[in-house]
Amino acid sequence: MSEAARAVERAARDSRARLLAFLAARSHDVAAAEDALSDAFRAALESWPRDGVPDKPEAWLLTAARRRLIDAARHARVHAQVKPELMAALDDAQVITSDHEHEFPDERLKLLFVCAHPAIDAAARTPLMLQTVLGLDAARIASAFLVKPSAMGQRLSRVKTKIRDAGIAFEIPHEAELAERLDAVLEAIYAAYGSGWDDVAGADPRRKGLAVEALELGALLMRLLPEEPEALGLSALMLYCESRRNARRGPDGEYVPLSEQDVTLWSQPMIEQAERLLRKAERMGRLDRFQLEAAIQSVHAQRAHTGNTDWESIALLYEGLVRIAPTIGARVGRAAAVAQARDPQTGWALLQQIPEQALISYQPYWALAAHLLDRMGRGDEAHAARERAIGLCEDAAMRAYLIRQQD
């Protein structure tokens, strides 16, 4: 690869998201900004080998993309009132790029907030983030979400049209709504990681393959919001789950529940990093959902040193979690922890309080119910609950594990 081609590649890797966020924040049109930016990268591939790599590659790309956006706006039937506004905004971009003293502002946080805006369908938020902030293509995203690439492509372009037509603002939310909006951003990043803690039996992400991308988004959010303890909590949580990746499956791919995992297979560097983040978050003195979830995983991680699990602490942390965020996952997790800390009857009583409608197709509930019923000596009911858990399984290794228990 030539020096120039490497420079283009480096700019694409390091600056694509910042350039896109900057252009989209000014044009309010994510799709048009993406198109303009791809054109700019294509132009760079042609001109840099010929004319040399510019001193400020990012400024060069921004100027080229800005020109394309203006051309596109001229040709498209952009609303008459929007046009002058767009031109003015893009002129700002010109001023910024010609200012050699300063780098252009980082608008990626605004882009993250737009991706998780309440007007956008919750199911589309994570894919949109992966595409705009990390530059993943629709086919890759589609495979992680188990849908057809064409369907994912359509979903993403519908969302971008909505952002443009509804005029969703690229801004950091006001204090009054910041917590709620931030929660949606955290949720969308965590959804990319997979529902680790929902699975009381062993924290196994269902959606494989996006863990690295989710960690990257989490790290970006920490950099953009250094004073936000929940951003630290989310990254810590994902790192604790990630540290157990190699322990989750046996040599033949069989499922290994958390309690039976070989702790020497856990990644201690990841656990240490998670501990550091969690302690830093705790010092900020504002405890919330993701820090609690991370704290639960932190207690589990202690087993590598102490050889046992402090279920009393886990039960207490789940109690706090259920008060803040009474999701079905948290309630099932609390019942499991209480059953371990005290006795299966107390855990079972907590399980019985969960509304039945919510449990119909929630697999971890049935797996836990089978386990507790067994411990209470109610074998027939345990068998029926485990059948239900087997029938609701998506994961082949987990299914095989439950079938082995059934025999």
Partner 1 sequence: MNFSILIHETAEVFARRDEPAQRPVLYAPIGAYLQALRDAGVFVGGAGLEGPATATVLSANGTGWKVQDGPFADAKEQLAGIIIIDVPDRERALEWARRFPTQPGRKIELRANLIPPSE
Closer CB to partner 1, 139 or 396, in the complex: 396
- Binding of residue 390 to partner 1 (CB under 8 A): yes
> How far is the CA of 137 from the CAs of 28, 70, 131, 150, in angstroms?
21, 25, 6, 11
Nearest to 233 by CA among 221, 244, 247: 221
CA separation for the pair 342, 344 (Å, rounded): 7
3-state secondary structure of 147: coil
CA separation for the pair 284, 279 (Å, rounded): 9
CA separation for the pair 212, 197 (Å, rounded): 17
Closer CB to partner 1, 124 or 215, in the complex: 124
Phi, psi of 73 (to 5 degrees): -65, -35
Interaction mask 102-141, partner 1, x per CB under 8 A: ---------------------x------------------
Phi, psi of 249 (to 5 degrees): -130, 145
Closer CB to partner 1, 121 or 137, in the complex: 121
3-state secondary structure of 169: coil
Minimum distance from CB of 359 to partner 1 (Å)?
Answer: 10
Closer CB to partner 1, 185 or 385, in the complex: 385
Q: How many residues bind partner 1 (CB under 8 A)?
A: 15
Closer CB to partner 1, 224 or 384, in the complex: 384
Closer CB to partner 1, 226 or 391, in the complex: 391
Stretch that binds partner 1, among 215-223, 265-273, 293-301, 395-403 (CB under 8 A): 395-403
Minimum distance from CB of 398 to partner 1 (Å)?
Answer: 11
Interaction mask 135-174, partner 1, x per CB under 8 A: -----------xx---------------------------
Among 105, 360, 379, 404, binds partner 1 (CB under 8 A): 360
Nearest to 220 by CA among 59, 16, 6: 16
Nearest to 395 by CA among 371, 373, 363, 357: 363
Residues that bind partner 1 (CB under 8 A): 123, 146-147, 360-361, 387-388, 390-394, 396, 399, 403
